Amino acid sequence: MARKERQASEEAAPAPQPPRLKEQYRADTVPALMRRFGYRQVMEAPRLSKIVVSMGVGAAVQEPKALESAMEDLTTVTGQRPVIRRAKRSIAQFRVREKNPVGCSVTLRGDRMWEFLDRLISVALPRIRDFRGLPPEAVDGHGNYSLGLREQTVFPEIDLDTVTRVQGMNITMVTSARNDEEALVLLRELGLPLRE
């Protein structure tokens, strides 16, 4: 009896909706890339591999609560628990010793990656004051694009009343593109507002 009820509830539950940007990539972006670069196979088209979001918290050496609040904000923004990053060597001028916690980072893949990129493009970037587009020079020569945000409050998930300190973050989009041109065309097709 219990098996039949469980089976009926599984059939009644709607299938999870795939991310909007992932569907756009499959339907529009891949054909556009194939036309532009003359690919013969769908798998030749560059794709987004992962997104790495990191926060450097230099104040964590004197104030351990700063790292905790940064980790909470990063968890809220990405939906995934961050990993603590530690210093690789001691630097006396910054009062940092080897293995001191100095930041946190999250690596997003799959549907979480697509959802985060969709929120970044459609919600967070338009909320930046005096935003005129992202610089296309921020590619690293291997098809990866990096950008920095000055404050975490551009994401609407962050409650402004609970923010104790404004913290910037770095976002790196890792692609399977073979060169910078392919990566920039891929990101433009996905909707990333790059300057001309």
pLDDT tens profile 180-196: 999 999 999 999 898 87
Domains and CATH numbers, the chain: 47-190 (3.30.1440.10)
- Specify the higher pLDDT residue, 89 or 11: 89
pLDDT tens profile 41-70: 999 999 999 999 998 877 666 677 777 888
DSSP state of 152: G
Structure tokens given for 190: 């996905």
So what's the pLDDT on residue 129?
Answer: 84
Quote the strand ranges of the chain, DSSP E.
Answer: 48-56, 83-86, 101-108, 145-149, 169-175
So what's the pLDDT on residue 52?
Answer: 95
DSSP codes of every residue in 102-136: EEEEEEE-HHHHHHHHHHIIIIIGGGSTT---B-T
Predicted TM-score (pTM) of this structure: 0.83
